[in-house]
Chains A and B, each alone.
Chain A
Amino acid sequence: MIEDAEDRADAWFHALADRTRRDILRRVLSGEHSVSTLAQSYDMSFAAVQKHVAVLERAGLLTKRRQGREALASGDVEAVRSVGVMLTELEDLWRGRISRMDELLALDPADHRPEED
């Protein structure tokens, strides 16, 4: 378990920077999957997929539970949402700024604007 918030956030971004891990996360966000079923979807060893799952688990993006001999993984929707919200909120702020700049420029007298062809 990662206690420190900053380490946790760094772990999120590290975990999401890998294509296979994003794909695993997409699958487990839509429902519980066993690690062995996940492993069959990728052209890599079971151990390699297990490692990817462990990175996602350490980052708090998925949770694992044991059922008999199976390890079942499911995505933590709330945790993933916080990563998405952060960059999207920043982007929304900028979209607003840019449209306000556009409106301000449009108020200029016509002789300050580029010639219309």
Chain B
Amino acid sequence: MPVTSTQHDLDALTLTITADFAAPPERVWAIYEDPRQLERVWGPPGYPATFVDHALEPGSRSTYYMTSPEGQRFYAYWDVTSVAGPDGFTFDDGFALDETFAPNTSMPQSHADYAFVATDDGTHATFVTSYASADDLQQVLDMGVVEGSTAAINQIDDLLAADAA
């Protein structure tokens, strides 16, 4: 597994995941730059993503939808806020109302900050995803877009034992 660490910040409602890839930052960056590659990795199993518009440029809005196993489409968008290719980029990820991709303002946005650093073996990537409130995170997960994983009761112990940031 290329994941090297995961950190849950209960106060900041932030998930930070680091991973090492056996490819240079330019190659990892290319996955995010190319909508055809991006849609192969973005949606969870059973919910493939289709990017309609996509450009990694500050101020640009990407539009995409995920299709559920039942054929239901979840429309969403990225508002790209800063770009420093191939070192990383930041964006806001939100849900859209329908195929017009008008933002659904009753649904929360998450903020994403991705960074790619060259190492001797390839790339050290840091993916930070944060939510404004616990309720926002709950709402996004309730959309059912995330694989329905039922955490075992012993995972609670891990959570409670984790040092607060």
Q: Which of A78-109 contact B (CB under 8 A)?
A: 80-102, 104-106, 108
- Contact flags B131-154 to A (C-beta < 8 A → 1, else 0): 001110110010000111111010
Is B159 part of the contact surface with A, judged by Cβ < 8 Å? yes
Would B155 and A22 count as touching, CB distance under 8 A?
no
Please pick, from B2, B127, B159, the residue contacting A87 in the complex, using a CB distance under 8 A: B159
Q: How many residues of B contact A (CB 8 A)?
A: 50
Q: Compute how far the CA of A6 lies from the CA of B132 in the bound complex, rounded to whole angstroms.
A: 11
- Chain A contact residues, majority secondary structure: helix
B122 near A: Cβ within 8 Å?
Answer: yes
Report the Cα distance A87→B43, complex, angstroms.
Answer: 18
Which B residues, 79 to 134, have Cβ-Cβ distances below 8 Å to chain A?
121-122, 125, 127, 129, 133-134
Q: Is there an interface contact between A86 and B138, defined as CB atoms closer than 8 Å?
A: yes
Chain A residues with Cβ under 8 A from B44's Cβ?
A: 93, 96-97
Cβ of B157 under 8 Å from chain A:
yes
Given the interface contacts A9-B133, A86-B138, A114-B22, does A101 sit within 8 Å of B41 by beta carbon?
yes
Interface residues of A in 2-53 (CB under 8 A from B): 5-6, 9-10, 12-14, 16-19, 22, 25-26, 29
Q: Which of B's residues lie within 8 Å of A, judged by CB?
A: 1-3, 6, 8, 10-11, 13, 15, 17, 19, 21-24, 27-28, 31, 37, 40-42, 44-45, 121-122, 125, 127, 129, 133-135, 137-138, 141, 146-151, 153, 155-157, 159-161, 163-164
